[in-house]
Structures are given as C-alpha cells and as structure tokens.
Amino acid sequence: MRQTGLIALCFVAGVLGGMVGHDLTSSAPHDVVRPLVMTAAAVNAPDLGRVSSSKTSSPVIAAVRKVGPAVVNIDTVVMRRTSMFGFADPFADLFGSDPFSRVVPSKGQGSGFIIDAVSGYVLTNDHVVHDAITGNGKIKVSLPNKQTFEATVVGSDPQYDIAVLKIDGKNLPSVKLSSSDSLVIGETAIAIGNPFGFRNTVTVGVISALDRSLTANDGGRLDGLIQTDAAINPGNSGGPLCDIDGNVVGINAAIISGAEGLGFAIGSSSIKGVVDELIKYHHVRHGWTGMTFWDISQRLADRLSLPGTDGALVADVYRGSPADEAGIKPGDVVLQSGANKITCVDDMQSVLRQARAGDHLPLTLFRKGKKVNIKIQLVEAPEQ
C-alpha cells in the first residue's frame, strides 16, 4: 500500500519529541510545554504487579503482567540554539552568530522495552532518540518500578527505524522478541507505552491487517508493518505490541495523521536480524549492489523492445561496484531475485532492504531478448 502524497504519515516520536515538543520548544517559551508533562507525570502509573486474585484469569491482565514491567519510558534532552524572537537572524550567515539567540532544551519522550536483562539492552524506535544521537543529547530510561538510568546508544538505523540502547542495572525485567509470522487478522493486539507522558498505558484492539507498507513525509519507507486499532498515540513509539499470550510481536512505530484506529507496528520477525546487527556491529551493514533502477512504463517498454512492464530497469551502474564486476549493464531488466519475482522498483528495494554485506544475491536478468542468470556478492553501502 503506497500512500505517498495521499496521507500524512506521522512517526509518533512522543509528546515532547518531534511531533509536539520540537515545534513548541523551538518557537515558544519552555513553560508552554511544561504543564503538559507535569500533568502526565502527576497521574499515578498503575502498579503492573498488583492484581486482585479474582481477576487473574483475564488473559489481557496476564499478558500485561508478563510484558509491562519491562516497558520503559524514554526521555531525551537536546540543547538547541534558537532566536529569542522566534526567527533566525538574517545576518547570521554574514557575521557567523546570532546576537539575539539563546540555547534552550528541546525535550522528547517515547517508549521502549528491555530485551536483555543481563546486558541491559533496550529496544526502541530510531526516531525516538534520533535527535539525541545527532545532537549529542542525553537519554534517560525509566522503569515502571521507578528505577532510572542514563542510557548509551549501542546502535541505530533510520531505514528500519530501530535503535538499541544500553543501561547498567541489576535484576532488570526483560522480554523477548517473538515471531510475528503466524499472526492472524482479527486476533487480539495489546499495546503498552507512554502516550503523551501517561506512563504504563495499556490499550487493546485487534490485528487489523498484515504486511502493510507506508511512506513517510520525509520519503522514508517501512515495510512488513502490522496494522492495529489498539490506540497508539504520540509517546507510544518504541513500545511493544503483544498478542493475547504476552508475546511481543511488534514495536509500535507510526500513525496516520487525522485518522482513528490506524496504528502501525514493525513486525518483530522483520527486525530480529536488525537488532542482532546493531548489537554486534553498532550499525546495519546494508547490502549494496551499485546500481540504480527505474520502473518500466509501457512507453519505455516499447522504446526498449521489452516484452512487458514487469521488472526493474537498471538505469545506472557505478564503476567498481558489485553490479559492475558482475557484468550488469544499464538497460538490463531484473526479473527475479532468488524466489522473489521483481515486478517494479519497490520489489527490488524490498529485496535489498533484507540483504546484508557479504550476501550472494542471485538475479535473473532480461538482456537483448534473453534471460541471463547471474550472482553478485554485495558489499557494505558506502557513506556517499
């Protein structure tokens, strides 16, 4: 489902992060946002471990008791320089400074959950902590039992919208990522997080759809999404989506602006490998072919004497890249990669999103009226 230009996709970074806090903090006095946080913080968080014996038979309660203690609140603070009058100094480029600027804290808030009690690894969305990472800010992790830790970043990846943090603590609760492959549309979905600063909030719905793909306003795309009508709001980002048995099947990540009952989580099966890469290498070793692609229109197919519009047309090949070394040329059409049929550029990109440096990628090409089978070994994507 490609929604570019039709919907406004909002990554729910939290009540004080990106969606609300960045706008208010950078354009208005800090006190404007303070009451919202204080109101949320003043609400007593539920004791996830205190359940009357008459209600322990509820499967939702059992799931919350299993997962809830490991769900954390994530607060970020980044110091930003902004004009006292709410606009940039027009002479800053000439004189190198803004005499009317001041440094103010830009706060963000989201959710996460502990996936390794021994190592203290915390899983969340990249967009929850991205500003803190790029702006050399601070990240604080708070548990439901009121333990609070300064967190360090193990690794993050904006393409998958995943980040792994590390805290140093003892006797930490934790949960494991389960498989999302066996989910069924209509089964119970439970979201736990900290929407708008209201910590340890539980919402319940169903799995509404599977394998969704959405494109954000910044052009980033997420595939393999779980759609749910369990209420997801700013601040839920990074929190777990669970099934009725308390298995973590996704990480809440996105909403559609103005819609109701349309929340999206990244399926756990699609990010397990990403998490392992971040922990081991501190970044994701994205596989790179060294070629760019075009979709094939009927006009283009007629011009190039192609049999149809299926496939991804190779538009350019970088010299010295894996594609170049394998003999791929502009004008070749990728029809298949392994068991994956390629009908358009999106199909090819989906294959490459799952590929890693060092992988051998089998490709079936259409070239000068014939099918050609080749295999290329991917390398890590260059920075430029």
**Residue 95, in any domain of the structure:** no
Catalytic residue among 75, 126, 161, 332: 161
User: The domain containing residue 300 runs over which residues?
Assistant: 287-380
Over residues 211-265, the pLDDT tens digits come to 998 887 666 778 889 999 999 998 899 999 999 999 999 999 988 878 888 999 9
Q: Give yes or no: 161 in active site.
A: yes
Residue 277 shares a structural domain with residue 294 = no
Residue 52: pLDDT over 60: no
Residue 192 shares a structural domain with residue 319 = no
In this structure, what CATH number is given to the domain that contains residue 375? Answer: 2.30.42.10
Rounded CA gap, 128 and 15, in Å? 10
Over residues 367-382, the pLDDT tens digits come to 988 999 999 999 998 8
Residue 208 shares a structural domain with residue 356 = no
Rounded CA gap, 191 and 262, in Å? 13
In the chain, % helix, strand, coil (3-state, to 5) comes to 20, 35, 40
- Give 99's pLDDT tier (boundaries 50, 70, 90): low
Q: Which of residues 284, 308, 337 is at a domain's end?
A: 284
- Give 81's pLDDT tier (boundaries 50, 70, 90): confident
Which helix (DSSP H) or strand (DSSP E) does residue 279 occupy? helix 268-281
Q: Which of residues 284, 306, 323 is at a domain's end?
A: 284
- Give 203's pLDDT tier (boundaries 50, 70, 90): very high
- pLDDT number for residue 350: 86
**Residue 98, in any domain of the structure:** no
Beta strands in 233-378 (DSSP E): 240-242, 248-256, 263-267, 287-288, 291-294, 312-317, 333-337, 340-341, 360-367, 370-377
**Residue 94, in any domain of the structure:** no
Residue 298 shares a structural domain with residue 270 = no
Rounded CA gap, 19 and 31, in Å? 17
Which helix (DSSP H) or strand (DSSP E) does residue 111 occupy? strand 101-116
**Residue 93, in any domain of the structure:** no
Q: What is the mean pLDDT of the chain?
A: 82
What is the pLDDT averaged over residues 331-356? 92
Residue 248 shares a structural domain with residue 321 = no
Single-letter amino acid code for the residue at 319: R
Highest mean pLDDT among 65-74, 193-202, 208-217: 65-74
**Residue 89, in any domain of the structure:** no
Residue 305 shares a structural domain with residue 265 = no
**Residue 39, in any domain of the structure:** yes
Residue 260 shares a structural domain with residue 317 = no
Q: Give yes or no: 130 in active site.
A: no
- Give 104's pLDDT tier (boundaries 50, 70, 90): confident
Q: State the virtual CA torsion across 112, 118, 120, 126 in degrees, nearest 10.
A: -60
- pLDDT number for residue 86: 58
- pLDDT number for residue 36: 26
Of 162-166, 184-188, 234-238, which gets the smallest average pLDDT?
Answer: 234-238
**Residue 210, in any domain of the structure:** yes
- pLDDT number for residue 369: 86
Q: Give yes or no: 101 in active site.
A: no
Are the CB atoms for 189 and 230 separated by under 8 Å?
A: yes
- pLDDT number for residue 11: 52
Residue 12: pLDDT over 90: no
Residue 22: pLDDT over 50: no
Residue 229 shares a structural domain with residue 111 = yes
Are the CB atoms for 112 and 128 separated by under 8 Å?
A: yes
Residue 154 shares a structural domain with residue 264 = yes
* Rg of the chain in Å (alpha carbons): 23
Residue 93: pLDDT over 60: no
- Answer with the residue of higher pLDDT: 100 or 247: 247
Q: Which of residues 284, 316, 337 is at a domain's end?
A: 284
Q: State the total domains in the chain.
A: 2
**Residue 51, in any domain of the structure:** no
Residue 112 shares a structural domain with residue 11 = yes
Residue 136 shares a structural domain with residue 36 = yes
Residue 116 shares a structural domain with residue 35 = yes
Rounded CA gap, 62 and 153, in Å? 32
3-state secondary structure of 76: strand
> Closest by alpha carbon to 16, among 81, 59, 73, 56?
73
- pLDDT number for residue 305: 86
Catalytic residue among 106, 156, 208, 237: 237
Catalytic residue among 75, 106, 126, 127: 127
Residue 40: pLDDT over 50: no
In this structure, what CATH number is given to the domain that contains residue 258? Answer: 2.40.10.120
- pLDDT number for residue 221: 79
> Closest by alpha carbon to 161, among 108, 221, 107?
221
The values of phi and psi at residue 72, to 5°, are: -120, 160
